[in-house]
């Protein structure tokens, strides 16, 4: 199978979908002439022209709202946020508009729109550019939330998100854009709401998404040397959540560590922990453990940043705790 980088996989998904349906357009800061701030939309301006690949002013609330309006009357916008940190400026348009119009209109106006861009920390970008804001979006009914960890998943899930008739938040990662992986040739579509077992194991379940999947897999390698076989589950879609896959795994392993890049307080990991204790209480041999970023704004200094973000070592320690190995 061929290898693609994550950015190439996303690019391919958008191009294939835009060739299939002329209602789809891409709009955002630097997406056209600059080829994308992270080169995700490279070459798309030449392929589709300036009407469908549109450079916007730096005006996140404005262009998010413009996308919602266009979606209301039949277009299918892909709105790129240069990073989700800037997406906060558009939160009113996303939460109060995109996620509400269908419900408030009693089912008259749906909003088929994808808001996509990188989330989480990159490297030494400081407090305002290093946030994993998944919680902001999963909290709100009326939207789907996807967070990808591999090029193949990115392609298959983005195609589904574009075809979905609902608003979808699609979270990528600056760090992962250049990571490569095998991507199937031809039509490759992954349904939203279906998780993926990234590593089969029998002794403990680790749930992780986005670039934390790699942290989980690295931890699993270390744990294997200690005689512990971890099962790594990537839910891929955070809402709707593939709860069944997680519960099934816990019933097999009897132990779970949930790994998230976001802060601890009210994070997605807390939601998963609650569901696991409610649905698989009798199968648990240890309390659910969370590994999250430390509850501080992201510092700049490299050593401090490294301390904040979950590492394989922290995951190993958490697994050892749920396995009562220390």
Q: How far is the CB of 321 from other proteins (least distance, A)?
A: 29
Q: How far is the CB of 301 from other proteins (least distance, A)?
A: 34
Question: Which are the contacts of 175, defined by CB distance < 8 A and separation ≥ 6?
Answer: 120, 121, 122, 123, 211
Q: How far is the CB of 27 from other proteins (least distance, A)?
A: 8
Query: Would you give the DSSP letter of residue 199?
Result: E
Query: Would you give the DSSP letter of residue 98?
Result: I
Q: 53 by DSSP, 3-state: which?
A: strand
Q: 290 by DSSP, 3-state: which?
A: strand
- Of 25 and 170, CB closest to other proteins: 25
According to DSSP H, which parts of the chain are helical?
A: 6-20, 44-48, 60-72, 84-87, 91, 101-104, 134-138, 151-163, 212-225, 243-253, 268-280, 302-308, 312-322
- Of 69 and 299, CB closest to other proteins: 69
One of 8, 29, 60, 231 is an active-site residue; which one? Answer: 60
**29 belongs to the catalytic site:** no
320 vs 10, 47, 230, 291, 316, CA distance in Å?
37, 52, 11, 13, 6
Q: 261 by DSSP, 3-state: which?
A: strand
Expressed in angstroms, the distance from the first to the final Cα of the chain is 42
* Residues at the interface with other proteins (CB under 8 A): 25, 51, 56-57, 59, 61-75, 77, 92-93, 96-97, 101-110, 138, 141-142, 144, 164-166, 193, 239-241
- Of 143 and 280, CB closest to other proteins: 143
One of 30, 129, 229, 279 is an active-site residue; which one? Answer: 129
Distance CA 208, CA 137 (A): 17
**139 belongs to the catalytic site:** no
- Of 63 and 177, CB closest to other proteins: 63
Sign of the CA dihedral running 103, 105, 107, 109: negative
- Of 72 and 220, CB closest to other proteins: 72
Residues acting as catalytic residues: 60, 129
């Amino acid at each position: 199978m061929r290898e693609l980088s994550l950015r190439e996989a996303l690019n391919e998904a958008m191009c294939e979908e835009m060739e299939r349906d002329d209602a789809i357009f891409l709009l955002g800061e630097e997406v056209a002439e600059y080829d994308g701030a992270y080169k995700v939309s490279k070459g798309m301006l030449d392929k589709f022209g300036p009407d469908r690949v549109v450079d916007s002013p730096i005006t996140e609330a404005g262009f998010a709202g413009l996308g919602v309006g266009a979606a209301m009357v039949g277009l299918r916008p892909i709105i790129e946020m240069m990073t989700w940190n800037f997406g906060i400026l558009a939160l009113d348009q996303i939460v109060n508009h995109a996620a509400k119009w269908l419900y408030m209109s009693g089912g008259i106006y749906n909003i088929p729109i994808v808001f996509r861009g990188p989330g989480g920390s990159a490297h030494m970008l400081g407090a305002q550019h290093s946030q994993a804001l998944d919680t902001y979006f999963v909290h709100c009914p009326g939207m789907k939330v996807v967070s990808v960890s591999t090029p193949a998943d990115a392609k298959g899930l983005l195609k589904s998100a574009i075809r979905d008739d609902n608003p979808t938040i699609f979270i990528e990662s600056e760090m992962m854009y250049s990571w490569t992986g095998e991507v199937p040739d031809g039509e490759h579509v992954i349904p939203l709401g279906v998780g993926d077992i990234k590593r089969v194991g029998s002794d403990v379940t680790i749930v992780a998404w986005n670039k934390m999947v790699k942290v989980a897999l690295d931890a699993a390698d270390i744990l294997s040397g200690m005689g512990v076989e971890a099962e790594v589950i990537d839910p891929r879609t955070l809402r709707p959540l593939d709860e069944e896959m997680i519960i099934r795994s816990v019933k097999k392993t009897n132990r779970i560590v949930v790994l998230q890049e976001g802060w601890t307080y009210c994070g997605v990991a807390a939601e998963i922990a609650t569901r696991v204790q409610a649905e698989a209480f009798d199968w648990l041999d240890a309390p659910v453990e969370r590994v999250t970023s430390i509850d501080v704004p992201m510092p700049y200094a490299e050593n401090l940043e490294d301390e904040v973000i979950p590492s394989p070592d922290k995951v190993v320690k958490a697994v050892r705790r749920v396995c009562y190995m220390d």
